[in-house]
Amino acid sequence: MSYASSHPGFVIPASNPSGIFPFLGRHPETAETMHNLAQLREKQGNNEEARALYTEALAIREQERIVHYSKIAETRMLLSTLLHTIGLHEDANQLEAAQSKLRTCDE
């Protein structure tokens, strides 16, 4: 359950589509916190919240580009693995293809 769905009347900003942490900015440290929390939620079996957190962390990391590409790749890989786990194979394959393109560009 997202923050917004548990708080009626709350408007989700377009910059935070998951609605998990609407009060946090789009800073690389926020992405790191979301990434870490996503890992915890996944271990706890809360895959939907983990998915939303990974997705938001990845969006911040891709937009900011201040972080190392290895952090983008790590979040992308963990999200892809989670998507496969919950049966969203097409979405996972798209993330894996995007990662392959980045590796090709770096070589």
Q: pLDDT tens for residues 9-28?
A: 444 444 444 555 544 556 77
pTM, rounded to two decimals: 0.64
Instruction: Count the Cβ atoms, other than its own, within 10 Å of residue 69.
Output: 16
Task: Give 49's pLDDT tier (boundaries 50, 70, 90).
Answer: very high
Tokens representing 21?
Answer: 């942490």
Q: Does residue 102 or residue 99 have the better pLDDT?
A: 99
| Residue 96, CA distances (Å) to 13, 15, 22, 41, 99 in order | 28, 24, 28, 22, 5
Q: Does residue 56 or residue 67 have the better pLDDT?
A: 56
